[in-house]
Structure 1
């Protein structure tokens, strides 16, 4: 089962990232700068600058990243804390 899953996911990665892009449906942007509808090529364009993030979302991301790093580098401390927390039950 693991080999089948690995084949499936690796094949998916190859199709998504390593296939040559097709030229069908690609048109240059109009001179006026007005675009009628979004296209698949518009999603591939790089952003013009940094993407704004709300303060609350940034704080939540920082907390999640910090917790992930602590659990990744010091898993025994987290497991010990959880074990001691279960011993406090009455």
Structure 2
């Protein structure tokens, strides 16, 4: 996982690519974003219960599954040399 990423597609291109169908998904018109940083709230496309694509909002960072609350420091880099031994990735 890298620190920053770009969403260069227009909203109409995302809508067409993933065949989004709900009113909430169709009414969005987010502009492309060129410098999305860790800890920003973003929209993700995921698989829905019926197999169709679905939008979800979430935060761009890693939170270990065992965390009881949101950590103060954002973890957003997973190093390949320690991913298999770090408790955060088990």
**TM-score, normalising length: structure 2:** 0.20
Larger Rg: 1
Whichever structure has more strand as a proportion of its residues is 2
TM-score, scaled to structure 1: 0.20
The structure with the largest helix share of the pair is: 1
